[in-house]
Structures are given as structure tokens and as C-alpha cells.
Chain A
Amino acid sequence: GENVEQHPSTLSVQEGDSAVIKCTYSDSASNYFPWYKQELGKRPQLIIDIRSNVGEKKDQRIAVTLNKTAKHFSLHITETQPEDSAVYFCAAYSTLTFGKGTMLLVSP
């Protein structure tokens, strides 16, 4: 089955800095890679996703890149704001498998 590794487990940045979260996957058949944001006590919510026929996708301050050869994908958040503080989960689909999550803390 699919195995998804996510790093780092925690990430602290200053407001305005960029944040990068990286995930690797094992199944070369995986073709869909969503990212979810989960605020404390709330449900996971999809923030961006990418499919295997695309190398990069951007939506305002967030972007995702995919390297199929190396089997890794990354979430990039620019100009971070305190409201970006949350746990971020990556996932890979051949069978949908989630990473363990990254707690992002953005300090004012």
C-alpha cells in the first residue's frame, strides 16, 4: 500500500516569512495529492490539490509542487500570517493515505 512521510512535524516562522512542508510517497501509481488545513478543534479542510499531470499549482499565497520522478510534493506558503497557524496534512491517492501532519506556528 501507499506510505506517506511528511516533514517537518512542527514548523515555527515569523509573520511574513515563507513556510515549506514536504511529503514523500511510495506508490508510483498515486495520481492525486491534496493538502488539508486543520485548525485547532476544527475539521480538515482542503486548501489546494494537484494531479500527477501537473508540476505546480498556485492559489494566491499557497502553492504546491510535485516531482513524480522523486515521488515528493511540497506545500509552499508565502507571506505567512498568524491565521495560517494550523496543522497541515498532505495525502496521496492510489489508496488515499494521509501524512502525520505538520503543526505550523506563525508568530506575529
Chain B
Amino acid sequence: DAGVIQSPRHEVTEMGQEVTLRCKPISGHDYLFWYRQTMMRGLELLIYFNNNVPIDDSGMPEDRFSAKMPNASFSTLKIQPSEPRDSAVYFCASSLGQGNQPQHFGDGTRLSIL
């Protein structure tokens, strides 16, 4: 299995632009998680889906952030408009079962907002 696949690996864009991060979970996994990692705040859970349905989005920092999962093999995290404080590494992870099962992380997207 190829594992969780994220794209792009790196994104540099100017403040105010729309940013879209993409994730393909491991085939057969029914949970998908989006995390943000910064030095100051560590690894934060933003939102997670079960069978393509958003279950908990309480970690989404503000309305500028949105996430979708149109099918079992694809999810997006969108930031519009982007701000410099959104600069971070964004990880997608998937699991077979909820948090009490091992999560498999993608390689992350390093986002820099200038």
C-alpha cells in the first residue's frame, strides 16, 4: 500500500490567496484526520471524518478554514483567505476505526504564507 498521500509537499503563497491541501487516505480506512503542527502549539487536530462525514470540526481555528471529503479516497483542506499565521505543517492521517486504532500519517504539506 502506498500509504497516505498528501499534496503538495510544499506550498508558498502570498497572504490573501486561497490554499487547497489534498489528501488520499489508505484504501479501506474509514477515518480521516487533518492536523496542524507548529513549534508553539504542537500537533493539533483540526477535523476528522468518518465514512466521508465530518464528525468533529471543533479544532478548525476559524471560518477561513474548511474541509471536505467528497468520497472515500479524497479529502481537501482549504484556507481562504490565507494569513501568515497559518504557516505550519499540515498532516493528514487515516485509520481503520476511530482514535483507538493506529493512525497512519501522510508526509505532510509545509505551508508558508508570506
Contacts and interface: CB of A to CB of B under 8 A. Distances in A.
Contacts of B106: 43
A100 B105 contact: no
Contacts, number: 43
Interface stretch (A61-69, A72-80, A88-96): A88-96
A97 B102 CA distance: 13
A26 interface: no
Please tell me the size bucket of the interface on B: 10 to 19
B43 A49 contact: no
A42 B37 CA distance: 12
Contacts of A25: none
A44 B91 contact: yes
A41 to B, nearest CB: 9
23 contacts: A32-B99, A36-B105, A43-B106, A44-B43, A44-B91, A44-B105, A45-B105, A46-B102, A46-B103, A49-B102, A51-B100, A89-B42, A89-B43, A94-B99, A95-B99, A96-B45, A96-B98, A96-B99, A96-B103, A98-B45, A100-B42, A101-B42, A101-B43
Interface of B: 33, 42-43, 45, 56, 91, 98-108
Interface of A: 31-32, 34, 36, 42-46, 49, 51, 89, 93-101
